[in-house]
Amino acid sequence: MEKRFVYADHSATTPISKPVLNAMLPYLTEGYGNPSSIYSKGREAKKALESAREQVAEALHAKPSEIYFTSCGTESDNWAIKGAAAAGARKGKRHLITTNFEHHAVLHTMQMLEKEGFEVTYLPVDSQGLITAAQVREAIRPDTALVSIMYANNEIGTILPIPEIGAVCREARVPFHTDAVQAVGQVAIDVGVQQIDMLSLSGHKLNAPKGVGVLYLRSGLAIDTFMHGGAQERGRRAGTENLASIMGLAAAITIASFQIEERAARRTAMRDRLIDGILAQIPRCRLNGSREHRLPGSLNISFEGIEGESLLLLLDMKGICASSGSACTSGSLDPSHVLLAIGLPHEIAHGSLRLSLGDENTMEDVEYILEILPPIIERLRSMSPVWEKLMAEQRAQSVG
């Protein structure tokens, strides 16, 4: 096969789609009015903003008054968690519950709150990258201010039992926040049916631009304000609205929710072909996380005896963009906390590959990856002292 360019890192970010760009362009040019201004250019901007809010609300089955635009998924997570923690603390509630494999936007916020005197329970995920609603029920205490559990994991792609957790929290009257940044656009979400009180999402994970997000905040739930300033977002999130990006986000979420089943089916077919093809062709590798409870577009596989960073570089030379569980985003060489949380030993966690598919990917892309990957793994293993040792052990075993 000829060299191709294959972008298979949609969990990191996605390209802006054509219809999304078209929805944005008028607001980058003549539609520059400030939605807070009273002349017609301002009022037009305000009208557009409110129509975007309606679109997002519709996609989540929420009310427009429950949708707040933010600057990103990270801000939405920070607001939900710090806001609920502060509101809880005033009632003497200083206990928070989350999992040990959240995105750092949640984990580092929790750690910061621990320093401020909150107590945090980090529920351990099992080897499949899942937790149960029963674990949440057992962890809830009279002083629990918030449960924050991600909808789907960004590294291994597992989907958690959100409706069941929502029911447990509702029954215990504890606010429930979910970081749904990976799920929105891939999984049908109904915040009412699923009993979600707060939900974070981000534009750039669903073919909208970077730097725009949403916090859904159920009406009646009181949390503290995070961004102080002007009266935007009904006085609860200050800052002049990023209207062009908001219009892009609204278009993206509407497109995604109209076609959710078709898109999911397409991605699932490509994902399953990749999983089956890799497991069949490459010895001593394993799929990380539950096969069944999995985002349509995501997979994460560990290969014994290789190093993730070198794998990514060799894939890049063949035009393939992917990511590694051992990605040292922070510059540290520690393997991913997610892979350690599901019980992978350090040396195996280091040799992990995440492939995440999106709308532009095709079966040809998948076949290309399946052609390119096995020889790269073989080459890396042929140079790896760790692999050499594994093979020696294997030979000793078969002789003995």
Ligand X SMILES: *Cc1c(COP(=O)(O)O)cnc(C)c1O
Binding residues for ligand X (CB under 6 A): 72-74, 77, 103, 105, 150, 154, 179, 181-182, 202, 204-205, 213
346 in a labelled binding site: no
Smallest gap from residue 361 Cβ to ligand X (A)? 18
- The answer to whether 153 is annotated as binding is no
Which of 72, 169, 285, 328 is flagged as catalytic?
A: 328
Structure tokens at 34: 């400030």
- 214 burial via Cβ count (<10 Å: 0-12, 13-18, 19+): buried
- 20: tokens are 């999304």
CB of 256 to ligand X, least distance (A): 15
328 part of the active site: yes
What gap in Å lies between CA 267 and CA 356, rounded to an integer?
9
The least CB distance from residue 107 to ligand X, in Å, is 10
The answer on whether 100 is annotated among ligand-binding residues is no
Nearest to 208 by CA among 227, 181, 178: 181
Ligand-binding annotation for 203, yes or no, is yes
Smallest distance from ligand X to CB 132, Å: 20
> If you ran DSSP here, which 8-state letter would residue 276 be given?
H
Question: 9-20: b or e for each residue (b if 16 or more CB lie within 10 Å)?
Answer: bbbbbbebbeeb
Report whether 154 belongs to an annotated binding site.
yes
Q: Which residue lies nearer to ligand X by CB, 103 or 177?
A: 103
Q: Which is nearer to ligand X, 15 or 31 (CB)?
A: 15
- In degrees rounded to 5, what are phi and psi of residue 142? -60, -25
The contacts of residue 152 (CB under 8 Å, 6+ apart) are 158, 159, 160, 180, 182, 183, 186, 187, 295, 298
Positions annotated as catalytic residues are 328
Known binding residues for [2Fe-2S] cluster are 328
Binding site as annotated, residues: 73-74, 154, 182, 202-204, 240, 328
